[in-house]
Amino acid sequence: MSDDIHIRVEGRAGRITLDRPDVLNALSWDMCLRIEKALDDWRLQDDVQVILIDAVPGRAFCAGGDIIAMHEAGIEGRYDYGRRFWADEYRLNAKLFHFPKPVITFLHGFTMGGGVGLGCHGSHRIVRDDSRIAMPECAIGLAPDVGGTFILANAPGLLGEYLGVTGARMGPGDAIRAGFADHYVPEEWGDLKDALVETGDVAAVEAAALAPPEAALAGMQAEIDALFAHDTLADVAAALDGREGSAADTLRQALSQNAPLSMACTVEILRRLRDDPTIERALGLEARFTFRAMEHGDFIEGIRARIIDKDGAPRWKHASAADVSRMDVENMLRPLGPLAPDLEVWT
């Protein structure tokens, strides 16, 4: 048994527990492949009736992917490393979304980036008071991925644009409102997990759930919809002058700090996705950006500034949202052709 992830069958449940608390349970490439293999096996095992995905106690369920290795590959010009990793990760995300048995995820602490891809495509997504869910990729020169844009595109109104551009963190009430979680279970989860292992009956989740806390985002919905009622990020930024309110303040801060190209492409991806909101289309559009992010975007610089050197002073390719042209966005989101990831979940 590996010491970074524990995969086993207990009673009627296939169980996956992340165990890298020192790095907030960041997902490595190898972990993704082992999780995928377990899902492939359990799909065909009649005695496995439910899947439970959780993490050891600590600050996070999973705060993202293991991007240190990605940075090393990028500065060495090994851009294929990222494309191959993301292709495997996105296939896993699609398998979780389409898995034919209940997938119950226990999202304690931070669930961000790659953690969203692992924890937020299940059938029963559980949060509690310390849960903090976010898609903060624009801060490091990436864009929301791992199928996160599918959830964002289906959020109420234009909430998806706000969450994707700003990377705002959601507590339990907001996460449920935005579609990243389903059930609020504030007490310790040990008894619930034991019941699921023993019975394989997801009715135990419904029985344990309580009404979620008030969603702060609900009171901000009209403001958010007005802020993003424009075609492009540049239009959104131009219309922000003179706007007041908590959402406007958060957006203003994001526009001054996050990668302009990433934010502009996030808005465009969500606008395109609403015409055909499927998980496969979401992952395909995301791949167009992420597969180019190392060589043509701001990803390597974002990791340097935020993770490696931690100087908080990234030198983005564009100075502001106004400097991102329509052609810049189109170049990042043009079809990948033969490089497009294979999202066939089962043959």
Find, among 95, 90, 85, the residue nearest to 38 by Cα. Answer: 95
> Is residue 221 a contact partner of residue 309, using CB atoms and an 8 Å limit?
no
Please give the share of the chain, as a percent, with pLDDT higher than 70.
Answer: 99
Across 146-171, average pLDDT: 98
- Domains defined along the chain, listed by start: 5-339 (3.90.226.10)
Q: How far is CA 60 from CA 42, 218, 329, in A?
A: 26, 25, 33
Share of residues in the chain with pLDDT > 90 (%): 94
- pLDDT for res 344: 85
Report the half-sphere exposure of 286 (CA within 13 A, side-chain side). 35
Averaged pLDDT, 109-129: 97
The mean per-residue pLDDT over the stretch 298-304 comes to 96
Q: How confident is the model at residue 65, as a pLDDT?
A: 86
- What's the pLDDT tens digit per position in 226-265? 999 999 999 999 999 889 999 999 999 999 999 999 999 9
* Residue 1: per-residue pLDDT: 44
C-beta separation of 141 from 89 below 8 A: no
Q: Give me the pLDDT at residue 37, please.
A: 97
Confidence of residue 2 (pLDDT cuts 50, 70, 90): low
Residue 347 binned pLDDT confidence (cut-offs 50, 70, 90): low
Torsion on CA atoms 236, 241, 242, 245, rounded to nearest 10: 50
At 16-34, the pLDDT tens digits run 999 999 999 999 999 999 9
pLDDT one-digit tens code per residue, 178-219: 999 999 999 889 999 999 999 999 999 999 999 999 999 999
